[in-house]
Amino acid sequence: MKTMNAAVTYAKENGERFVDELKALLRIPSISTDPERTADVRRAAEFVAAELRRIGMENVRLIETSTPETVLAPSSGPAQVVAAREGHPLVYADYLHAADVDGKAATTVLLYGHYDVQPPEPLDKWKTPPFEPTERDGNIYARGAVDDKGQMWMHVKALESLFAAGGGRLPVNVRVIVEGEEEVGGEGIAEFVREHPDELAADVALVSDSEMFAPDLPTLCVGLRGMIYTEIEARGARTDLHSGMYGGAAPNPFVALAQIIAGLKDDSGHITIPGFYDKVSPPSAAELKAWRELPFDEEHYRETEVGSTVLTGEAGFSVLERTWARPALDVHGIAGGFTGAGAKTVIPSRALAKVSMRLVPDQKPMEAFAQYKAYVEKICPKGIALEVRLIHSGDPIAVSTDNPYVRAATSAMHTVFAKETVFIRSGGSIPIVGDFIRELGIPSILMGFGLPDDNLHAPNEKFHLANFHRGIESIVRFLASVGEA
């Protein structure tokens, strides 16, 4: 208790410096999907490692990863699987000297976060540049502010505060694993977890990469959707053709993609892939009741968060059910052909679409992909050759709410927010949480401090600074109380 309070005091006294350091990290454009940013991504990893070392963590190191990569052939040929590409490094650190409690070995907490970020485009929509962190109205604006550099930094600063309060000791055993490929679904971390489970052995994982349901409302996320991210490549004629000479006779791969995509859902928003819903398990009556009691205003959500004239989706389900507990299918981009200024009359020989599906318990990514691929091939118009590829996948997650760590987390947040915690699910995906369950056999506490309007993956991403500080305090209290138990 003494350490806990001293750590909270330290965090409060050093809060401004913590923000300054975070700004330095946010200035590094660690965009994991952009090959031109590879050096910056590594610089971000080194920045995090250096700080973990400075605050007193041990065995701090970068772990190299590799990832199999598929690339599109430059001409109209099929895509090629290029051997392993160098992946972005993991950052590892530990402190394993916490004292036993009543003859029982000390608890070990695995802290997870990611230092990579999404691309910032479209740049002209940012009020201040994405990699020049700027404070406005109590928020810090930058790409990665909340997803996930700012939240990962809360972990590091909570550890620093506990070290300072404990005279160089922590009240609990801690391992830290921070990855640089979360935003691209990289397999590097999953492979490390699979191959070296002993190096990450822990009792529980703490993940701060999610949101609170509403401002001032402490939240634990207890479910995440899984996903399969796919690419459909359609090829028609051998080469690009003059659309006047051949239009009416040659197949058009864009029209084919449009027909395929349109065929994946019916008019009521239901995905038409045969068997796709077979394994979908509905939320419990208790869960549905709890969701109905959450402060949710659909009109406000439509107007301020989505900003569209209507909300779409499967008929017969509420917005929270549709985004948390039902699968979804979206198209992210269609590429190829002519998109330059003016007009070019061409029938392109090839077109590409990026299509993903969000999965819910108990759907299995590989099974869903096989169903999807078979159906896409079946509804493909004649004259078009298809390649349907899986880019990455992750399991849907349901985490238990009945364990001492959940109680420690809610009690920590109760002290900070003076409110009862709400349990929600999120529509987003954090694939590694599934590997923590499967490979390490540990539950995760998904204690995130983002807000619904933080603009994740969008222009003007922000982190509410009050939540950064309340997050650090909550994590300090959580870690210290887990150590005492």
Interface pick for ligand BES out of 108, 208, 219, 426 (rule CB under 6 A): 426
Site string for ligand BES, 429-468 (x = CB under 6 A): xxx------------------------x------------
Residue 226 or residue 483: which is nearer to ligand BES going by CB?
A: 226
Residue 228 or residue 351: which is nearer to ligand BES going by CB?
A: 228
CB 282 within 8 A of CB 338: no
Residue 41 or residue 234: which is nearer to ligand BES going by CB?
A: 41
Site string for Mn ion, 92-131 (x = CB under 5 A): ----------------------------------------
Q: Does 264 bind ligand BES (CB under 6 A)?
A: no
Interface pick for ligand BES out of 428, 434, 443, 483 (rule CB under 6 A): 428
Q: Does 31 bind ligand BES (CB under 6 A)?
A: no
Residue 34 or residue 58: which is nearer to ligand BES going by CB?
A: 34
Q: What is the 3-state secondary structure (H, E, C) of the chain?
A: CHHHHHHHHHHHHCHHHHHHHHHHHHCCCCECCCHHHHHHHHHHHHHHHHHHHHHCCEEEEEECCEEEEEECCCCCCCCEEEEEEECCCEEEEEECCCCCECCECCCEEEEEEECCECCCCCHHHCCCCCCCCEEECCEEECCCCCCCHHHHHHHHHHHHHHHHHCCCCCCCEEEEEEECCHHHCCCHHHHHHHHCHHHHCCCEEEECCCECCCCCCCEEEEEECEEEEEEEEEECCCCCEEHHHHCCCCCCHHHHHHHHHHCCECCCCCECCCCCCCCCCCCCHHHHHHHHCCCCCHHHHHHHHHCCCCCCCCCCCCHHHHHHCCCEEEEEEEECCCCCCCCCCEECCEEEEEEEEEECCCCCHHHHHHHHHHHHHHHCCCCCEEEEEEEEEECCEECCCCCHHHHHHHHHHHHHHCCCCEEEEECCCCCHHHHHHHHHCCCEEECCCECCCCCCCCCCCEEEHHHHHHHHHHHHHHHHHHHHC
Q: Could you tell me the smallest distance in angstroms from the CB atom of residue 398 to Mn ion?
A: 19
Residue 150 or residue 283: which is nearer to Mn ion going by CB?
A: 150
Residue 383 or residue 427: which is nearer to ligand BES going by CB?
A: 427
Q: Does 30 bind ligand BES (CB under 6 A)?
A: no
Contacted entry of ligand BES, Mn ion, none for residue 432, CB cut-off 5 to 8 Å set by kind: none
Q: Does 209 bind Mn ion (CB under 5 A)?
A: yes
Instruction: Count interface residues toward ligand BES (CB under 6 A).
Output: 17
**Which of the residues 323 through 362 are near Mn ion (CB under 5 A)?**
none
Interface pick for ligand BES out of 251, 327, 365, 394 (rule CB under 6 A): 394
Interface pick for ligand BES out of 40, 182, 203, 461 (rule CB under 6 A): 182
Contacted entry of Mn ion, ligand BES, none for residue 454, CB cut-off 5 to 8 Å set by kind: none
Contacted entry of ligand BES, Mn ion, none for residue 394, CB cut-off 5 to 8 Å set by kind: ligand BES
Q: Does 147 bind ligand BES (CB under 6 A)?
A: yes
Q: Does 230 bind ligand BES (CB under 6 A)?
A: no
- Residues at the site binding ligand BES, with contacts judged by CB under 6 A: 147-148, 182-183, 185, 209-211, 227, 392, 394, 426, 428-431, 456
- Residues at the site binding Mn ion, with contacts judged by CB under 5 A: 147-148, 209
